[in-house]
Structure 1
Amino acid sequence: MAFGGWAWARKKVIGKERPIVRISPNKLHVNDLSFFTQVFQNGTPFFKDPRYYASFNLYEALPLIRDPNKHMIRHSIVRPLFSKRRVDNFAPNVEQIVERALLKIATFQEAGKPLNIQQLFRCMTVDAIMALLFNKTQNLTISNEVEPPFLRSMTLFTKSFYLTKHVPILARAARRLPLCIAKRVFPAYVSFRQTKARGLSRDAPDMEALIDEAFIFCFAANDTTSYALTWAIYYLLTHTNARLKLAEELWPLQQTANGLLTYEKLGNLPYLTGVIKETLRLTSPVPWELPRIVPQGGIWLGDQYIPPGTLVCMGTRMVHYNPQIFPDPGKLSPRDDWVTTAKSSKSGMSHFQGDHARA
């Protein structure tokens, strides 16, 4: 169960015969797709577990805000950043980042050196996020460092989280401890706050919220995106039919002078879209459970009554690898409705359910 093993072990422990399993004194894991949808739908009465989300030590970050009204207000502010129009306008910036990445790949190829592709994807993702949110790139894509300090802070955050999610008081204490001690308990967060605070006026409103928001956007999008992109390459290399079918769709497209395919053309390709969604399903960038609190009055799951205050959760891998939805869940095989129509393209994908389902 250690080092993330529970994400895979629970598939053997939990099944149709045992849809409800107690995994801690006050926490139940539920393997029920309809219940999953009920818990994570918009307007859900199942609120986030304060103890669990406090372990992130990012109280003002959008995905971790527990108050529904406060979350709605913050979400309305952030949402325009990811509108279709904003994404379309931002596409040329991403293309520039891709060009830098291709130059780096070519340099390593000419030198006969191996390149850590996931690390490169992490650099590209951070550059894109910072440019989109703050109109300022970190230029990590062209960095010669094996792991730039910015990415190192992301790595340290992940390692710290495995401790603070079980002892969340450490995360709260990190804000009040002397820096020499706080850096040992929560090195990534302290480092990130110090770095980003230098660029903000002390008189700026909601400085804490701005730093928390910046960190969670970088962390949440960085590892998940780079992880998915890396696995997309792996799955395409190991699934010949899918690779050839995708190549057949891409070859007729006209390239730019730099040999790239523009976002405008790629965004309308049905099979490419299907491959992207299938990769998100297979990788499940957020494999762990996201606990919610059973509301007042309790709930019934079949003939089992769950009292109010109980923590309930369900791992996204249990949904994405459900053979009732995906007949051969371990293979890259885009569903027909993901390729031919957008009407039901979100079916069975927890990443696309609700405004903040993944959090």
Structure 2
Amino acid sequence: MAHPSILGLLVNYKWPILAAALVAYVVSTCVYRRFFHPLASVPGPFLPAVTKFYQSYYNCRYYLQVEKLHQQYGPIVRITPNEVHLTDPANYEKINHVGTKYAKSLNYYNATCVPNSTFGTGPNDVHRIRRGALNPMFSRQKVLDLEGIVQDKARKVCARMQTGIDNNEPVDLHHAFRAVSVDVISDFAFGECYDFLDKDDIGAKFFTMAHGIGPALWAFQQFPSLQSLALKTPPWMAPYLSKPLGYVTGMQMECVRQIEGVKANIEQGKSLGRQNIFTTLLDEENKPDAYQIPTTWQLKDEAYSVLVAAADTTGNAMTVAAFNVLNNGDIYRKLVAELEAAFPDLNADLPFVELEKLPYLTGVIKEGLRLSFGVIGRLPRVVPAPGATFNDHFLPSGTIVSMSSWMMHRDTSVFGPDPMKFAPERWTGSIDEVRRLDANMVPFGRGTRQCVGMPLAYAELYVTLGSLFRRFPKGLKVWRTTEEIMQDYEDFFSSYHPDSSKQEWFRAYVEKSG
């Protein structure tokens, strides 16, 4: 009779024992992380020191909470159990210099779903090989050789603006500017332009997909174990399980289609008249010795990363710049006066190399880049052996350390007491003053991991904005969009304006008299 009694005891006390064990585990973990962890001396509140759920609570607004923590605790703050965030600009250079040994944190970057891309590569030695294969296609000389592609897209933006004026309708520049970047990169990358600037919706469906990826990336960052399971979902099923997951798999399949198309053209001996990014990556000649031709599934990550990068970062910088020009009559007049003096012919193409010499236009573009932030949140890096000291705190090897453009671009000691003010004049002072400001400018990152597409982005910014404001020297106005909308961001790696503002995307119009 004793045996059943023992079983009864086990059944009766099993769950309390398990619950007690779980509580003991949680308590001991919290005590260790807060008081005995190597980062225990780094300033910060209790919760982010013991659990990642603290950042999960703030979700895509965590970058704002991180700023508040710095205001309370100083230039170094512990923001997750194994991650420290910094604000001192000198630390940015320390981490991101050319030849840096600080690798990207795969815990963070794997969530972008592009592990085989140059962008998503963690180890520095692998990144060096992949970046070496890409660099020639994004060099300044290559961009100048293919400037005609950018000029063509700028003309189309101006044509859409003129059509809107003729029809007395506001023109959706929010999507038009983004369409410039995607039309350029699709032509540049695949030899097959998406031609969004010729479509009625200006590619709005595509940009909804690109934007919709954001929530999935955030979920994968918070819960990495979900990612491998989610990405095994058949593409046809993914949209039914989760709209963001459907966007991710939809983008992946689009990239596979593009790569297969490039391969088919190569196999069929079709000539494009020029090399594009992916014919170059598939060509074994003139590659680093360790470079191996990627498979379609590997290359789709590279395609995914260049398309998503083009979908918002440069387009958002154009949007921020153009909105602020039209929202301030003095800026509009000064910019137009400079453009008219440099280019008397109203309808001529404006060469990139001439546009970038204009100081006030350069100031407008710099402010557009500064206040659109590029990647608005943190960019985590792994501290290499044997560790490093930041702000008098030693961080052991393997610690994640990060900084953000949101704080670098809004540093009041550099940009004054009102850093959100759009002021092109900041950039028209002495060379020393411009260098001082530039030290805090990181819209493309910096050093070895700096965005490979930066030369192309600058060409798009100068040519598109220069052409628009030379072609329409007066009369353009902002349609309904407010400054509050333009300064409100969600962090889905790139900075996005919230969905609640989608009915007020930046549009421009000319008010008809009478």
Q: TM-score, normalised by structure 2?
A: 0.64
The aligned residue for residue 333 of structure 1 is 423
**Secondary structure class of the residue paired with 2:84:** strand
1:120-269 equivalences in 2 (<5 Å):
120-145=176-201, 147-183=203-239, 184-185=241-242, 186-199=245-258, 200=260, 201=263, 205-254=294-343, 258-269=347-358
Q: 1:338 to 1:54 in 2, by over 3 A?
A: farther
Determine the C-alpha separation between the residues in 2 that align with 1:225 and 1:212: 20
Instruction: Give the corresponding residue for 1:23.
Output: 79
**Structure 2: how far apart are the matches of 1:104 and 1:218?**
23
What's 1:309 paired with? 398
Find the structure with the greater CA-based Rg: 2
Whole-Å Cα distance in 2 between the matches of residues 339 and 134 of structure 1?
41
Q: Return 5+ residue gaps in structure 2 as ranges.
A: 1-56, 268-281, 283-293, 452-492, 494-514
Distance 1:28 1:277 in 2: 29
Give me the CA root mean square deviation. 2.7
Structure-1 residue corresponding to 2:13: none
Partner of 2:439: 347
Query: TM-score normalized by structure 1?
Result: 0.89
Q: Which moved more, 1:123-132 or 1:108-117?
A: 108-117
Residue 295 (1) aligns with residue 351 (2): no
Change (3 A) 1:310 1:285: same
Distance, in Å, in 1 between the alignment partners of 2:193 and 2:429 is: 34
* CA deviation profile, 1:14-53 (whole Å, cap 9, x unmatched): 1385222222222222222111221111222222111111
Q: Which amino acid aligns with 2:83?
A: K
Q: Secondary structure at the match of 1:305?
A: strand
Q: Aligned residues, how many?
A: 359
Cα deviation for residue 336 of structure 1 reads 5.8
CA distance in 1, matches of 2:230, 2:440: 39
1:76 aligns with 2:166: no
Which of 167, 173, 176 lines up with 1:117 in the alignment? 173
Deviation at 1:228, TM superposition (A): 0.8
Matches of 1:210 and 1:250, distance apart in 2: 41
- Structure 1 residues 347 and 31: CA distance shift in structure 2, 3 A: closer
Does the CA contact (< 8 Å) of 1:291 and 1:311 recur in 2? yes
Q: Is the 8 Å Cα contact of residues 255 and 261 (structure 1) preserved in structure 2?
A: no
Contact 2:383 2:399 in 1 (8 A): yes
Contact kept, 8 Å, 1:57 with 1:172, in 2: the verdict is no
In 2: Cα distance, 1:339 partner to 1:270 partner = 9
Contact 1:270 1:340 in 2 (8 A): no
CA distance in 2, matches of 1:66, 1:314: 17
| Higher helix content, 1 or 2 | 2
Q: More displaced, 180-189 or 53-62? A: 180-189
Determine the structure 1 residue equivalent to 2:457: none
Distance 1:17 1:334 in 2: 33
Q: 1:37 aligns with which of 80, 93, 99?
A: 93
1:120 shift after superposition: 1.3
Deviates most, 237-246 or 19-28: 237-246
